[in-house]
Amino acid sequence: MISSGRLNRINFYRILQQIWANRGISRISIAQQLNLNRSTVTKVVNRLLEYGLVVTTGKYHGKPGVGRMATALEINSNFGLVLGIEVQTDFFRSLLVNLEGKPLESETKAFRKGTDILEDELVNLINAAKLRAESEGIPLLGAGIGLSGIVDPYAGTILHSNSLKIDKPVHLKEGLCQRTGLPIFIENDANCCCWSEIAFRANKHNNFLAVLGEFRMVDAIENRKKGVALGLGIVIQGKVLHGDNYTTGEFLSLFYDNKKPSHNQFSITDEEALSLPDNREVLLRVFNELARNVSLLVNCLDITKIIVTGDFSRYSEDFEPLLKLEIQRNWIYPTVKNCVIEFPSDESQAVSFGAAGLFVCKLFSVPDMTDQTDEEIGCILLKKLNPR
């Protein structure tokens, strides 16, 4: 049976999550939506106001009628800052944002010394961001890190990464947390593109797909070959899908020829990959091949939205028609298969922005209604944040 203390913690975060997801909501509306006593809601809201994580913003206009208007509530976007970091094969890209997702500072730094000093380099980045945030009078709450490969996001362990030449587990999170004194989360880069959608955008789709396509060096240490890298992030019923082995979204085209192996994930040769993205004929072949692979997922999983991020987001005129054509061609029914396709303009910051979104989502998550050991989310995470 669930303890009263745990139930109180869960209700605390249910209320906080409502305020986060519904900017300008009132106490009365929270009580109605969560079926809680108004006194319970008022008690929790008062604690959040005292802590500074929630602020009042005037009068709530969500419900028409007569009588005194309720006070509106929202998250204090400047309660603290969050750092998002993308680890590429030869550079880091970092982005500092507030809790609303407003970008405040970005930086790109070369990374050419190999994965043996990956932790050291990340510690330096995070500590430098901490000092910059403190100079502005706003604490750095923590960081999210996105990278290519198989990642256990709960343990914060890189299990395998072809691009970073990691073939045995690298336990990254524990060392980073100890050395920076901050909560840190590690995630696959394509999954990060899902977290930004959940955290910072008004997403109405429970089942959606993030396509992260990049033209980059596909080998960090040896044989530094330029190629095309593709990862998928999948969200089902509002939750990022990781899989039992954390390999959901790892992509290899159905048309890849094992008899002619290459360093990329498509049927094109390494020589053709070197010509991208300038070679339009090869580029369209890649887009067509990807569209045919993606169409099966869209129709089988009832995906209603696709977000194309990374370098691929610059090619909406070429890629979008192919996606629509293949999705409809793969559709078994005579009706039109509706799927929204978006190409965000912030392609260079897609992963770092999403890594920051990952941290924000963890902060406003509700613990499970069990007595099992918790992941560091919600109230557990809140207790570890820098004191104000």
- Would the pLDDT of 220 be above 70? no
- How many residues are present in the chain? 388
Q: Taking 80 as the threshold, does the pLDDT of residue 113 lie above it?
A: no
pLDDT greater than 80 at residue 58: no
225 has pLDDT over 90: no
**DSSP letter string over 205-237?**
-SSEEEEEEEEEES-SSSS--EEEEEEEEEEET
- Spatial CA neighbour of 280 closest among 318, 233, 334: 318
- Separation in Å, CA 8 to CA 303, 309, 316, 367, 384: 36, 39, 48, 11, 19
- pLDDT for 266-287, tens place per residue? 999 989 999 999 999 999 999 9
Q: Is the pLDDT of residue 305 over 80?
A: yes
At 129, the pLDDT band (50, 70, 90 cuts) reads very high
Looking at CATH, the fold of the domain delimited by 202-347 is given as Nucleotidyltransferase; domain 5 (3.30.420)
CATH architecture, domain 4-75: Orthogonal Bundle (1.10)
The percent of residues in the chain predicted with pLDDT above 90, rounded, is: 71
Which pLDDT belongs to residue 57? 85
The pLDDT assigned to 117 comes to 87
pLDDT per residue over 362-386, tens digit each?
999 887 644 444 566 655 666 666 4
Is the pLDDT at 136 greater than 90? The verdict is no
This prediction has a pTM of: 0.90
Rounded to whole angstroms, how far apart are CA atoms 148 and 308? Answer: 16
Q: Which helix (H) or strand (E) holds 159?
A: strand 157-160
Q: Is 202-347 in the same CATH topology as 81-192+351-382?
A: yes
The pair of three-digit structure tokens given for residue 206, joined into one six-digit string: 């429970």
β-partners of residue 365 are: none
Q: What is the pLDDT of residue 217?
A: 66
Q: Is the pLDDT of residue 67 over 50?
A: no
Is residue 66's pLDDT more than 50? no
- Please give the pLDDT value at position 257: 86
Q: What confidence category does residue 202 fall into, taking pLDDT thresholds of 50, 70 and 90?
A: confident
pLDDT at 1: 43
Provide the pLDDT confidence category of residue 346 given band limits of 50, 70 and 90: confident
Structural element, H or E, at residue 57:
strand 54-59
Instruction: Report the DSSP beta bridge partners of residue 73.
Output: 25, 56
Q: Quick one: what percent of the chain has pLDDT higher than 70?
A: 87
Q: How many CB atoms lie within 10 A of CB 38?
A: 12
Looking at this protein, which amino acid is placed at residue 378?
A: G
Any idea where the domains of the chain sit in the sequence?
4-75, 81-192+351-382, 202-347
Least confident of 60-74, 175-189, 244-258, 303-317: 60-74
Please provide the CATH number assigned to the domain covering 81-192+351-382.
Answer: 3.30.420.40
CA–CA separation, 367 vs 364, rounded Å?
10
The per-residue pLDDT for range 11-37, each reduced to its tens digit, is 888 999 999 989 899 999 999 999 999
Sequence-distant (≥ 6) Cβ neighbours of residue 65 within 8 angstroms: none
- Whole-angstrom Cα distance, residue 260 to residue 269? 8
Task: Determine which of 60-64, 153-157, 314-318 has the lowest per-residue pLDDT on average.
Answer: 60-64
What's the whole-number average pLDDT of the chain? Answer: 88
The arithmetic mean of pLDDT across residues 174-199, rounded, is 95
